[in-house]
Amino acid sequence: MGWMRDETGLGKCDANHVPLTPLSHLQRAARIFAGHDALIYGDIRRTYAEYHRRVSQLASALVKVGVQPGDVVATLLPNIPAQSEATFAVPACAAVLNTINIRLDVDTIAYILDHGEAKVLLVDSQFLPQALAAIDLMTGPAPLLIEVPDDQAGVHATGSGVIYEDFLATGDPDFSWIMPKDEWESLALNYTSGTTGRPKGVVYHHRGAYLITLGNAVKWEMPIFARYLQIVPLFHCNGWTHTWMLPALGAAAICCRDITARAIYAAIADHGATHFGGAPIVLNMLINAKPQDRRSFDHVVNVFTAGAPPAPATLAAIGKLGFAVRQVYGLTETYGHVTECIWDPAWDTLPEAEQAAIKARQGVGSPIMEDVSVVDDQMVPVPWDGVTQGEIVMRGNAVMKGYLKNPEATDKAFAGGYFHSEDLAVQHQGGAIQIVDRAKDIIISGGENISSVEVESALMNHPAVNLCAVVAQPDDKWGETPCAFVELKDGATLDEAALIAFLRERLAGFKCPKRVVFQDLPKTATGKIQKYELRLIARNGG
């Protein structure tokens, strides 16, 4: 062992140390998978050589309009080829990618553009009105607007901005990518759903993205040349980082603009899709698809599901249709999913209902995570008894750098050397985690987080509303939807339709309650609204 104390001449150099970045995956794929499918969308089929060329052009074009290292480039796009190209091109010019949720209201989009200080905004023609309205609300400098039409879907250019293909043509296909000098450099800026008010800006680094892409491929047992259907929105944790992962395997990305059962079955039958990720709502969509929307296929389709705990009945039903589903769990702050429900062959003999219940667990930490545990208020791990509740905490390379311009929230999230999820769970024998409740009354509808506080704040703007509370109610399609309980002021009158219409002027459509119950609200002796009682009413349809 003595020689190990002498490390003379054993330092880092260009030969033995390269900063980790997912950009390396596409650089490699352009060389060794040049002729293989990289992007598929309608009539569009692009090889890895073509994909790399277009990414280089876009990176070059961004530099030519003044984008500098560390600047933010935002997108307001569905899962179309331009979104995949931007996923690589923005960091390829050393800028930071900010994919914005296309379902957000105008005010929140404006806030994100201001807070992130976006220099450029790529926007789909369908969402151009929202983008222009958001820019009008900004207090800071407006970003350069690049309009991205989608002729494949019949969404044509309006002429309100520079057209994407024209902008791309100004770029150099031989542009030399600006690779990170430090793997800790910022790669992406993703905003939370604003479950406690304004959304927080989560900053990713190159190292974390590189490692999670390889970790995801390992835990999914994903083969070379897989064909991945992009259902997870690329504005959700950059599509759970899967778009950065695919070139490492020479895998094809099948773009999917509108998530319908017909489109998913068609992608499987026509393009041979082998893998996709999606919220439980997607699984229910496939289970309940009309006969005319279904297509037969002769291979197993591997699915990661996350966004909300799936019902065991859903998992049991989807498995009979040719889909092998695995439950995963994560957050925006962890680059997407960082746990997986690993199946033990010993469970094969269990009754079907018990197998489905096990598959509904969020599972154990992925290989790249140092630790994922459930702890009590003193940061002591809870017993693995499947009963004792605690908070899910985690540490590892797939944890964000922190919240942009919010050191207080960052310090709170990282207290005790772990990232605090604020999700409540139990831990079973073997370490499998299972969520039992959601902190802060988050409502998860179709994979989207909805803040009850935000909806309540909007309700309180109505002059007839005295008090209100919003809780989740079960929904066959969306998993959960908001249910509002409203106590009116004395003498005031208001009906459900009028109140929902009022809210639609202030909130994104998916955040608006689907049901309003007018009643006196139950309260404690100190005047606190008893949401527990309201949840029972909403759950039981009372």
pLDDT in tens, 194-237: 644 689 999 999 999 999 999 999 989 999 999 999 999 999 99
Q: How confident is the model at residue 527 (pLDDT cuts 50, 70, 90)?
A: very low
Pick from 150-159, 461-470, 484-493: least confident: 461-470
Matching residue, tokens 């407006």? 142
Angle at 323 between CA 227 and CA 344, to 5 degrees: 105
Matching residue, tokens 């331009």? 82
Q: How confident is the model at residue 456 (pLDDT cuts 50, 70, 90)?
A: confident
Q: Mind giving me the DSSP string for 379-402?
A: SPBPPSSS---EEEEEEETTS-SE
Return the pLDDT at 444: 81
SS3 per residue for 93-134: CCCEEEECCCCCCHHHHHHHHHHHCEEEEEEEHHHHHHHHHH
Q: Is 50 exposed, middle or buried (0-12, 13-18, 19+ CB in 10 A)?
A: middle
* Residue from 293, 314, 288 nearest 303 by CA: 314
Q: Is 7 exposed, middle or buried (0-12, 13-18, 19+ CB in 10 A)?
A: exposed
CA distances (Å), origin 487, targets 117, 196, 460, 464, 492 = 41, 23, 10, 9, 10
**The architecture CATH gives domain 17-258:** 3-Layer(aba) Sandwich (3.40)
pLDDT in tens, 265-305: 999 999 999 999 998 878 888 988 999 999 999 999 999 98
> 460-466, long-range: CB within 8 Å, 24+ apart, which pairs?
461/502, 461/506, 462/494, 462/499, 462/502, 463/489, 463/492, 464/488, 464/489, 464/492, 464/493, 464/494, 465/489, 465/494, 465/499, 466/490, 466/492
Structure tokens at 324: 């092998």
| Gyration radius from the chain CA atoms | 24
In this structure, which amino acid lies at residue 147? E
Residue 23 has pLDDT above 60, yes or no: yes
Question: Bigger pLDDT: 197 or 403?
Answer: 403
Pick from 11-20, 26-35, 169-178, 437-446: least confident: 437-446
Return the pLDDT at 194: 60
Q: Which H helix or E strand runs over 23?
A: helix 23-32
* Residue from 91, 100, 98 nearest 22 by CA: 91
DSSP for residue 322: T
Return the pLDDT at 455: 85
Dmax of the chain from CA atoms? Answer: 87
In this structure, which amino acid lies at residue 67? V
Return the pLDDT at 525: 38
Return the pLDDT at 288: 83
* Superfamily of domain 442-540, CATH level 4: ANL, C-terminal domain (3.30.300.30)
Sorted by where each begins, the domain ranges of the chain are: 17-258, 442-540
pLDDT in tens, 344-359: 999 999 998 788 788 8
pLDDT in tens, 45-94: 999 999 999 999 999 999 999 999 999 999 999 999 999 999 999 999 99
Q: How confident is the model at residue 524 (pLDDT cuts 50, 70, 90)?
A: very low
Q: How many whole angstroms separate alpha carbon 88 and alpha carbon 190? A: 15
Return the pLDDT at 439: 60
Query: How does the average pLDDT of the chain come out, rounded?
Result: 91
Residue 310 has pLDDT above 70, yes or no: no
List, in order, residues 6 or more apart from 15 with CB less than 8 Å away.
Answer: none
Structure tokens at 141: 């400098």
